[in-house]
Amino acid sequence: MSEKLECPGCGAYTSDVLWKYEHAEPCPHCGLSFEAHAEIREVRRKHADKEVTQKYEEARKLADRLETELRQAEHRLNCIRSAVAGEFD
């Protein structure tokens, strides 16, 4: 049996998740960053209150998703700026 790890973002329990985690890469199924995954695992390890842990996990997943969306929006904006700047040269 191969070793597996569960992603706290999507619940996928696969060897792919473990491999990505060991290589500090995002979840191959939901894109949860390595940093968010590691933080959630640490909170779970500390046996925090279940309700607090759940709220923290939800907030961390949301923050990670929003950070990804922000990076994508910034990239799109830079592409638009470059295209517009090229029209005025």
pLDDT band, residue 46 (cuts 50/70/90): confident
- In three-state form (DSSP H/G/I as H, E/B as E, the rest C), the secondary structure along 26-37 is CCCCCCCCHHHH
pTM of the model: 0.60
Domain with 71 in it: 5-87
The number of distinct structural domains making up the chain is 1
pLDDT by residue (tens digit) across 52-71? 888 889 999 999 999 999 99
The answer, yes or no, to whether residue 89 has pLDDT greater than 60, is no
CB-based contacts of 69, cutoff 8 Å, min separation 6: none
